[in-house]
Amino acid sequence: MSPGAPEGPALLAVDLGLRSGLALYGPEGRLRWYRSQNFGSQSRLKRAVPSVLHSAAPLAWLVLEGGGPIAEVWEREALRRALPVLRVSAQDWRARLLYAREQRSGGLAKDAADGLARRVIEWSEAPRPTSLRHDAAEAVLLGLWACLEVGWLEQVPPEVRR
């Protein structure tokens, strides 16, 4: 985040897994930070989720890609905090952000997501990655999609479009 940038309730996007991608967006629709976090086990994930949400606070939205028991851990903690949750599949955000030809296979989609996430990072003036794991890249794009969905952005910024 650039110095003097406005603070406010944020949106946390999570590409679910024991190794999760996390991306935090401000209400102006710009990425504040992103990372990949390896929780290692379901029990460590359960213990870590409250602290992840606390460190990202104040939050207006929690956005989850995926489902199952891992999603339930995040949703339970969000419910405890009265935090609204958007739960989507990768196909939902990919359909809006990637070309059809980039979605023909998981590998193509991951490559396209990497390039687009790097442009979002640059546009947001977030720290450039030394390496960008695919889960973090997908969390960045999930967050961009969510900013469009909740009205924080009207459209994909022209600097991010190809």
| Domains, in order of start, for the chain | 10-149 (3.30.420.10)
Helices and strands, number each (H, E), in the chain: 5, 5
What pLDDT was estimated at residue 3? 41
What pLDDT was estimated at residue 94? 87
Paired sense of beta strands 10-15 and 19-25, if any? antiparallel
Mean pLDDT by 10 residues, the chain (162 residues): 60 96 96 95 96 96 95 97 95 88 83 90 89 91 96 93 72
CA distance 22 to 24: 7
